[in-house]
Structure 1
Amino acid sequence: MSLLPEWAPQDAIQLSWPHSNSAWTPWLATAWKLYATLCQHISQYQKVLIACDPSLNIEEITELLQEHNVKLENILLKSVPTNDVWARDHGPITVRENDQLKILDFSFNAWGGKYAYDKDNLINRRLDEQDAYGALLEQTTLILEGGSIEYDGHGTLMTTSNCLLNPNRNPTLSKQQIASQLTEHFDLKQIIWLENGHLEGDDTDAHIDTLARFGPDNSLIYVQCLDRTDAHFEPLHKMETELKQLKDANDQPYRLFPLPMASAIYAENRQRLPATYANFLITNHQVLVPIYEQPEDEQALDVIRHAFPGYEIVGVNCRVLIEQYGSLHCITMQLPEGTLHS
């Protein structure tokens, strides 16, 4: 089996729609508008598969999508119980095995049991029961979130030791055992374990997709902090040093594209929120980039423009998402071409 990179041709993007029986209640109207905007961008070119908790009114969602000029023929709304919205982590991960696609449904425990996850851990199975997927769905007991891994398309997987080796995920497995399972599931040539880097306010134990991302043509896009007075300076500087030393499976260095660190944004309780430009989403024709109404937004979009030539670069205001400690990539999961039921 081999893992598919995010920029492989896609059928759809999978989402889980926010609802009031969750922590989203104070920001629900704003979150709905963001989801509608996201669907408008994605539906121009491909389908969107949306898990909608039974508490939601499908007609109300459809009306909102219509108001945002969404291509409704590309929207698939499925009634499925959900706890929260983080499709990157509870969504399926697709691999290719002997020219056939297989959808792996890893176990999800809400980043070490930090929140309720009983419904989210079943979303993929419930979607499969409704014939949403066009490839075999296979269960696996390994606890693994999509946001905790990055794949370069050529045999190298990158993750953080802080997340994947955290005892709140797979406490009975050693690093070697986890590496062995990842290699078996994804047909890897090497695993990069980053030892540095984190964002204040992040509750995922340093997901790689908040820090450093692979792109096509051997590119590596990462968050750089140049402000020595910022609490992120030292850990991100150490991470940058690690990244500069990395080589791919063919012993070639990566082409590095540093993203700016967003100016500090705080919640009402004065906790710093994890605003990161690295949490972008790659679709068939676009790269959707989270922006936060900050001075660094335009610089971040420009960096992504250089890293992804040939793609349309679209900024999406994700200020509301960081209120719940995630961003754009965190709420999405790509479904590669051949995985959606036709």
Structure 2
Amino acid sequence: MQKLTPRRWPAEWEKHKATWMAWPCRKEIWTNGLEKAQRAFAEVANTISEYEPVNMIVRAEDAPSAQNLLNSDIEIHFFELDDSWARDISPLWIEEHGKEVSSPLALKFLFNAWGNKFETYAHDAKVAEHITQITKSKVETYDFVLEGGAIHGNGQGTLLTTEECLLNANRNPDLSKDDIQTLLLNAFGAKDIVWLKKGIFGDVDTDGHIDNIACFVDNKTIISQNTNNRQSENFTIYQDNKAIIKEAGLELIETPEPEPRYIDGERVPLSYINYYIANDLVVLPSFGCKQDQVALSTLKDLYPKRDIKQIDANEILVGGGGIHCITMQQPLI
């Protein structure tokens, strides 16, 4: 049996080399207009660029809007896109430990537009390859569907995900839970996986991505949302996940979920957990409701050494995601 080279997936709060994003382009999902989406993405990108380098992937035909709205220090890379969710189409960089030095290794997984929910996605499926070429990264390729928003890690060998997403038949139907666990542990050099049952209610586009409901704050602490309203569609989900987190021996910090919002009778998956950690910065969503201030206060307590910038995420939400969904960290290794 081949001996695996020791490896580690750096936690998101560790130092970044850069942030990667993709410019909004799929007109049909931005029902308030593409320009509003682009302005929302630009606000996130411009804020992050004050703290670390930002790389923006842009279709050639969208160059005027990107160049007009983005700070001049943001580097623009032109190639074809279908959509704009960098978290799910970028490579995931891990740290590979050699005899004397550590080096970055880009893991490249398959992308099938969250279980073939959107057509087309052929260009997005090649984005990870483009990024690894630009960054001159060493690459390891997997014949396995995985989006970056479906998995979190604490940098110390524990992964966090949901069964709702990774065990969904529209991802890797021929693999069992044990098969998937073994593959992920080996790929990321991890020791164990905490499997939450479900993601936030209404997150139908991603089938319950973990980054909308829970994430690591440090090696032993997870943050999620809560509600005392037993009529909330999320009440049982939060309670079940809380029990799993406690059983895993991890601490849980909770912040109140945003007030419910419905469109055509369907609950919208608003989440404060979908925030992005950059160098010396946390970019936190706001939704224009009373819980915004509580979430801000909570994050200030959890990240006392970082600036907390709260940005209106409503226009990003229109397309089906949040601030974490549109960003991907390239760790400094």
TM-score of the two chains, using structure 2 as the length reference: 0.92
1:22 Cα offset (Å): 4.5
The verdict on how the C-alpha distance between 1:47 and 1:303 changes in structure 2, with shifts beyond 3 A counting, is same
- Counterpart of 2:50, as a letter, is Q
Distance 2:285 2:309 in 1: 9
2:238 to 233, 236, 239: 236
Segments ≥4 residues shifted beyond 3 Å: none
Q: Gaps spanning 5+ residues in structure 2: where?
A: 1-6
**How far off its partner does 1:185 sit?**
0.6
**Kept after mapping to 2: 8 A contact 1:19/1:55:** no
- How far residue 192 of structure 1 moved from its aligned partner, in angstroms, is 0.9
Percentage identity across paired residues of the two chains: 31
The more displaced of 80-89 and 15-24 is 15-24
| 1:7 counterpart (9, 13, 17) | 13
Deviation at 1:278, TM superposition (A): 0.5
Distance 1:217 1:168 in 2: 31
Asked if structure 2 preserves the Cα contact closer than 8 Å seen for 1:210 and 1:279, the reply is: yes
Note the C-alpha offset of 1:210: 0.7
Question: CA deviation digits over 1:250-294, x for unaligned, max 9?
Answer: xxxx33210211111233x33221100010101011111111111
Take 2:294 and 2:103, find their aligned partners in 1: how far apart are those partners?
40
- Which structure 2 residues correspond to residues 293-332 of structure 1 after superposition, within 5 A? 293-332=288-327
- State the one-letter code of the partner of 2:44: L
Amino acid at match of 1:150: H
Which residue does 2:58 correspond to in 1?
Answer: 52
Partner of 1:255: 251
TM-score, normalized by length of structure 1?
Answer: 0.90
In structure 1, the partner of 2:127 is 123
Displacement of 1:227 in angstroms is: 1.1
Alignment of 1:111 with 2:114, yes or no, is yes
Say if 1:17 and 1:35, in contact at 8 Å, map to a contact too. yes
Distance 1:236 1:124, change over 3 A: same
Of 58, 64, 67 in structure 2, the residue corresponding to residue 62 of structure 1 is: 67
Is the alpha carbon distance of 1:315 and 1:266 closer, same or farther for their aligned partners in structure 2, counting shifts above 3 Å? same
Query: Aligned partner of 1:124: which letter?
Result: A
**Contact 1:224 1:240 (8 Å CA) reproduced:** no
Provide the rounded CA distance (Å) in 1 between the counterparts of 2:215 and 2:165.
Answer: 16
Q: Which amino acid aligns with 2:299?
A: I
* Aligned residue identity for 2:86: A
Structure 2 partner of 1:23: 29
SS of corresponding position for 2:322: coil
Question: Which residue of structure 1 lines up, in the alignment, with residue 41 of structure 2?
Answer: 35
Q: CA RMSD, aligned part only?
A: 1.6
Q: Distance in 1 between matches of 2:301 and 2:201?
A: 24
Question: Cα distance, 1:128 vs. partner?
Answer: 3.7
Within 5 A, what are the aligned runs for 1:198-237? 198-237=200-239
Q: Distance in 1 between matches of 2:68 and 2:95?
A: 37
- Contact kept, 8 Å, 2:87 with 2:148, in 1: the verdict is yes
CA distance in 2, matches of 1:216, 1:201: 25
Aligned partners of 1:327 and 1:197: how far apart in 2? 14
Q: Which runs of 5+ in 1 are unaligned?
A: 248-253
